[in-house]
Chain A
Amino acid sequence: MNVVTKTVDAQALAAKKKLSAQFLRKGITIALLSGLMYGFYSAFLTLGMTKGVWSDWYGANTAGLSAFILTYVVAAVGSAVNDTLSAVWALFFAGLKGKVGDFFRCLRTTPGRVMILAALVGGPISSTAYVVGLQMAGSIVIPITALCPAIGAILGRILFKQKLNKRMLLGIAICVFASFLIGSTSLGGDAPKGAALGMLIAFVAALGWGFEGCVAGYGTSMIDYEISITIRQITSGLSNLIILIPIFGLIAGNVQLSTGLASQAFTSGPAMIWFALSGLCAYVSYMFWYRGNSMCGAALGMACNGTYSFWGPFCCWIVLGVFAGIEGWSLPLIAWIAAILMVFGILVISMNPLDLFRKKEAA
């Protein structure tokens, strides 16, 4: 099996070690940046949803939208506008780099179809499960969804035989606990009836995101990462617009209203500027998520991306609290403590921390 014939000289060996170290470092940096960009995407999306027509929907509500429409339909419209603009960015950059032809060629292949499936599971299906879970069980579902890096790592082991040892499991557990700590700050005494089912549905969301992370990460070893993300954002944007919003409209008893809301959202200039920015951040975030997972494996890649549970509140605090001057946005001390814990958890996944001391002793 192992037919390795290495002609090793010292110079080549040093260059090879450097190349491998650079690759891992680049993978970790990209995966961490995916978490940071997720934070900015969340912040700009939230800011966009306070401007233009959104300020009326979530404020005076002169249109008289029901609680169901505000919770489900308007939230889905926000997600659809963001993902559609993100898809436009993805197509723009793919065009700039001459990859549009390969994008269409990939769509007709098995890996392309698998990427579409991953995008559907992680996009509209998980996002809807998350919102429904949040409505049924309250904020307890937020820390539940923090389990997705652990689920991704386990699925990566089962589906693609990726490396997962006890040390890596410990590191993942530390990261999940840290995300749990941040999520717990938003816990309220708001567990209504049907909370258990709501928690189960939220777990489906975590399962979906874990599935998407590990499957799309593996798929990105076959499909170029800029094409992978174009498939993802177009699938997510279109499925939100064509399937999810009309379904929510149908449940609310007025399909025309939901499409009307979407068209109002798309033509609301003051909000669209921020949606364009959130779409750009989402494009970079998801592309780096896929690429980081493909370079580091699902366990390490998803743990690095999982730092979004710190970057989310951090970026919201910077963009909404500091930049936009909106009151009520701050970052609790526990988030900073959890961030340090996450760094330690990522270190434990990527290497044996004891090796750091061993290297010092050797020197």
Chain B
Amino acid sequence: MKPLNYAILKHFTKVQEACAEDVINALKGEYGKFRALERKAVVTALMTAEANGLLEETRFEMDKSGVLKVYYRAHEEGAATINRYIKD
């Protein structure tokens, strides 16, 4: 089992793009009991990864309930960095 933050970043090396909700849904099976697997913390983790060049924003939209969803992807360099530091 990887640390939660590693699993969040690693998720982006396996999908085209994802938002915080997608990440939570993908990881809740293994990390469901982790208190840090909640929307606010995951949004902050994704924005921090973006600020450090690991992820980049692809698009954003407002869902039907008025919640902003920002989508990110790991670009080539970001994915290479994630895979270099975080092994499977």
Could you tell me which A residues sit within 8 Å of B by CB distance? 1, 3-9, 11-12, 15-16, 19, 23, 27, 97-99, 102, 105-106, 109-111, 160-162, 218, 220-224, 227, 294-297
Contacts and interface: CB of A to CB of B under 8 A. Distances in A.
Interface of B: 1-6, 9, 33-36, 43-45, 47-49, 51-54, 57-62, 66, 68, 70, 73, 75-76, 82, 84-87
B4 A222 contact: no
B61 A224 contact: no
22 contacts: A1-B75, A4-B57, A5-B59, A7-B61, A12-B61, A12-B68, A15-B62, A16-B60, A23-B51, A98-B33, A98-B36, A105-B1, A106-B3, A109-B6, A109-B87, A111-B86, A218-B52, A221-B49, A221-B51, A222-B86, A294-B48, A297-B51
Nearest to B63: A12
Contacts of B84: 110
Nearest to B58: A4
Contact of A224 (B3, B53, B59, B66): B3
A218 B85 CA distance: 12
B24 to A, nearest CB: 16
Contacts, number: 100
Contacts of A162: 52-53
Contact of B5 (A4, A9, A23, A222): A222
Nearest to B4: A102
B77 to A, nearest CB: 9
Contact of B62 (A5, A12, A97): A12
Contacts of A105: 1-3
A160 B6 contact: no
Nearest to A19: B68
Contacts of A1: 75-76
B49 to A, nearest CB: 5
A12 B57 contact: no
Nearest to A112: B3
Contacts of B58: 3-5
B52 A294 contact: yes
A24 B6 CA distance: 23
B52 A221 contact: yes
Given A102-B3, A294-B48, A221 B59 contact: no
B64 to A, nearest CB: 12
Contacts of B60: 6-8, 12, 16
Closest 4 A-B residue pairs measured CB to CB? A221-B52, A102-B3, A12-B62, A15-B68
A121 B1 CA distance: 29
Nearest to A12: B62
Q: Which of B51, B54, B70, B84 has the most CB of A within 10 A?
A: B51
A3 B55 CA distance: 12
B59 A4 contact: yes
B85 A110 contact: yes
A89 B47 CA distance: 27
Contacts of B54: 221-222
A99 B59 contact: no
A98 B35 contact: yes
Contacts of A221: 48-49, 51-52, 54
A222 B85 contact: yes
A152 to B, nearest CB: 14
Nearest to B57: A4
Contacts of A11: 62, 66
B36 A224 contact: yes
Contacts of A220: 48
A161 B59 CA distance: 24
Contacts of A98: 33-36
A98 B41 CA distance: 14
A161 B87 CA distance: 23
Contacts of B1: 105
Nearest to B31: A102
